[in-house]
Homo-oligomer: A and B are copies of this chain.
Amino acid sequence: MTTATPPPKRLATRELILEHAYELARVGGLEGLSIGTLAADVGMSKSGVFAHFGSREDLQLAVLDAAARRFMERVLVPALSAPRGLPRLRAIVAQWSEWGREHQSGCVLLTAAGEYDGREGPLHDAVVAQQAGWRGELEKSVGQAAAEGHLRADTDAPQLAFEIYALMLGLHHDAGLFGFAQASQRLSAAFERLWRSWQA
Contacts and interface: CB of A to CB of B under 8 A. Distances in A.
Contacts of A183: 162
Given A162-B190, A163-B190, A166-B167, A117 B26 contact: no
User: Per DSSP, are chain A's interface residues mostly helix, strand or loop, or mixed?
Assistant: helix
Interface of A: 26-29, 31-32, 104-106, 110-111, 113-115, 117-119, 127-128, 131-132, 156, 158-159, 162-163, 165-167, 169-171, 173-174, 176-178, 183, 186, 189-190, 193, 197
19 contacts: A27-B119, A29-B31, A31-B32, A106-B117, A106-B118, A111-B114, A113-B173, A113-B176, A114-B114, A117-B173, A128-B177, A158-B186, A159-B186, A162-B190, A165-B170, A166-B166, A166-B173, A166-B190, A169-B170
A127 B156 CA distance: 36
A12 to B, nearest CB: 29
Nearest to A106: B118
Given A104-B118, A163-B170, 7 more contacts: A29-B31, A110-B114, A113-B177, A159-B189, A162-B190, A165-B174, A197-B197
Given A117-B177, A118-B27, A176-B113, A166 B170 contact: yes
A161 to B, nearest CB: 9
Contacts of A197: 193, 197
Central interface residue in A131, A163, A166, A183, by most chain B CB within 10 Å: A166
